[in-house]
Amino acid sequence: MKIGGYLIKQLEAIGLKHVFGIQGDYVLNFYSQLYKSRLKLVNTCDEQGAGFAADAYARVTGFGAVCVTYGVGGLKLANSTAQAYAELSPVLVISGAPGIAERKYDPLLHHKVRSFETQLNVFREMTDAQAVLSDAKTASFEINRVINKIKETKRPGYIELPRDMVDVEIDEPKITVSAESLTVDKAALNEALREVLDMLNAAKRPIIMAGAEVHRFNLQTLFLEFLKRSGLPFVTGILSKSVVSENHPQYIGVYAGGMSPEYVRKVVENSDCVIALGPYVTDLATGIFTHHIDTNKSVVMTPNSLLVKHHNYPNISMKYFLECLNKYLKSPKKITFQPKKYELVPFIPQTGKKITVDRLIACVNTFLDDNTTVIAEPGDPLFGSLDLRVHGMTEFISPAYYASIGFAVPASIGVQFAAPERRPLVLVGDGAFQMTAMELSVSVKYGLSPIVVVLNNGGYGTFRSMIDGPFNDIQSWKYADIVNIIGKGEGYTVITEDELSSALSSAKKNSSPSIIDVHLEKHDFSERLRRLTDTLKDRLK
């Protein structure tokens, strides 16, 4: 077994089916081996696009991988890997590198920056495990260590493969590295269970908040059992939207502090018992920290600890505690209050009426079905689409914490390879679309069929709503004509409500990429974005 072959074997062993990337001379030999393996190698137009595709793929399947060359390729992945780290997306970065032998006397080889360790040092800041496969005696151990760490923490890992080590022979290890398990203090566990059950029994207006970590750590089945046994209503956050189907009868809506609809905000902030599972308390998730939840009335579960009111219980995992809690919940709690729920209003397009952001979201809402995955770019595509009713589990994807624009179009590639039965619906602003529009040619190459809805307001609308100026304006493109450049697909230019409804219906029938160019007024923003930017404007003064 050779180092390159062993790395491929281990990727296949964990169930990986696809690797995204771009070749280069330092990784070319290994890249060729990937191409000849059972893994499907997907070439994108740009390395960052490959990173975003791998991130989206990981969010759907539980593990993603991206492979690039050294320096010019690897450093382009810094942004996408930082996002994966920030948002708990388990992505393995594989980078080729100059050979160990050719580094002698520290020559100025192409793609080198300051030293041969520069790229490794960069990725130390945004991955949970790193390895340079420079020693045949430790290479297999290091490969297993990095992969297992990614699986354990749900954060990225980094493997650097010098090109003269790819075909070096190694012995297969007999024992692989496995994640350490937490040691549970039984007395502490019993005390925590009593506290939480007493809170639930006494509560008149309890609510569950399902966070992103429920999805990242694959706890949806356990969470659904908790919903069934407790009978409690639940909300999600912007990072955990669609953690389970939003058609669930106990679902209320998305809570994001002051950015929330009033009925959602009331049901959370007036609760006398908030059970929060794996929440991400970020500025955007809380409407710029405008959330109001009383610590004395809350239970917070994380992957490795539990907080009940002000009592901290370390080493009690969310998974284990939910399993124990479910055993004690014999029958659903009788809810005496009736929280208001989001009601889907059928969209009836008005002929000739100019489309707005809020009406665009309403139209998309009626378009969604069980096989549509929404990928929302940060900005109004994200904030407006928080009011969508998403049908399936993990069918809404957005970098709602790190908030890097340029994610959505390449992410659609990762999503459709991860779940071929799904049709990606991309909601993207025109500014962000201009960053990564070329990745649609990858969709054509591999027979994919994203529907891309471009919110065309001539620039960066989110920033306009805070501080406006000509720096927020961009060059106008004929977005619908891009299908002629990439060689396949359908393009639509939309100005009115009826045109949007018709375009979405037509796009649904296409089996190739569709671009819907929706012309909006320059200062048209969703209601949620207005609430958020009103808070941000105060901070900018």
Question: Which tens digit of pLDDT belongs to each residue from 283-330?
Answer: 888 887 888 888 899 999 999 999 999 999 999 999 999 999 999 998
Last residue of one domain, picked from the residues 275, 308, 328? 328
- CA distances, 353 to each of 359, 363, 467 (Å): 10, 13, 29
On whether residue 338 sits in a domain, the answer given is: no
Pair 372, 485 in one domain:
yes
Comparing 92-101, 113-122, 139-148, 332-341, which segment has the lowest mean pLDDT?
Answer: 332-341
Q: Give the Cβ contact number of residue 33 at 10 Å.
A: 18
501 burial type by CB count under 10 A (0-12 exposed, 13-18 middle, 19+ buried): buried
CB 537 within 8 A of CB 389: no
Q: Are residues 377 and 520 in the same domain?
A: yes
- Note whether 307 and 415 are same-domain residues: no
- Per the structure, how many domains does the chain have? 3
Question: Are 263 and 371 found together in one domain?
Answer: no
* pLDDT number for residue 505: 96
**Residue 514 belongs to a domain:** yes
Question: Which pLDDT belongs to residue 184?
Answer: 78
What percentage of the chain carries pLDDT values higher than 70?
Answer: 97
**Do 154 and 288 belong to one domain?**
no
| Residue 60 located in a structural domain | yes
Q: What does the pLDDT look like over 108-119, one tens digit per residue?
A: 999 999 999 999
Asked, for residue 129, whether it belongs to a domain, the answer is yes
Residue 511 has pLDDT above 80, yes or no: yes
Domain ends where: 114, 146, 162? 162
* Domain contains 540: no
* 126 contacts 156 by C-beta, under 8 angstroms: yes
Place of tokens 């304006």: 473
120 in the same domain as 253:
no
- Domain with residue 312: its CATH number is 3.40.50.1220
Percent of the chain with pLDDT over 90: 84
Q: For residue 71, tell me if it sits in a domain.
A: yes
pLDDT for residue 182: 61
Q: Do 229 and 282 fall within a single domain?
A: yes
Q: Are residues 192 and 319 in the same domain?
A: yes
535 has pLDDT over 70:
no
Q: Is there a single domain that holds both residue 398 and residue 439?
A: yes
For residue 537, what pLDDT band results from cuts at 50, 70 and 90?
A: low
- Which pLDDT belongs to residue 181? 57
Mean pLDDT value of segment 12-38: 97
Residues 6+ apart with CB under 8 A from 343: none
**290 and 362, same domain (yes or no):** no
* Residue 449 counted as domain residue: yes
**64, 144: one domain:** yes
Instruction: Give the closest residue to 283 by CA, choosing from 302, 257, 264, 263.
Output: 257
User: Is residue 494 one of the residues assigned to a domain?
Assistant: yes
What is the pLDDT confidence band of residue 435, given thresholds at 50, 70 and 90?
very high
**Is the pLDDT at 177 greater than 60, yes or no?**
no
The reply to whether 305 and 432 lie within a common domain is: no
Helix (H, G, I), strand (E, B) or coil at 91: strand
Domain boundary among the residues 130, 162, 194 is at: 162
- How many other CB atoms are found less than 10 A from the CB of residue 446? 13
Sheet containing strand 40-43, edge to edge, reads: 40-43, 18-21, 64-68, 91-97, 157-162, 129-132
Mean pLDDT value of segment 397-426:
97
Domain of 145 in residue numbering reads as 3-162
User: In CATH, what number is assigned to the domain containing residue 143?
Assistant: 3.40.50.970
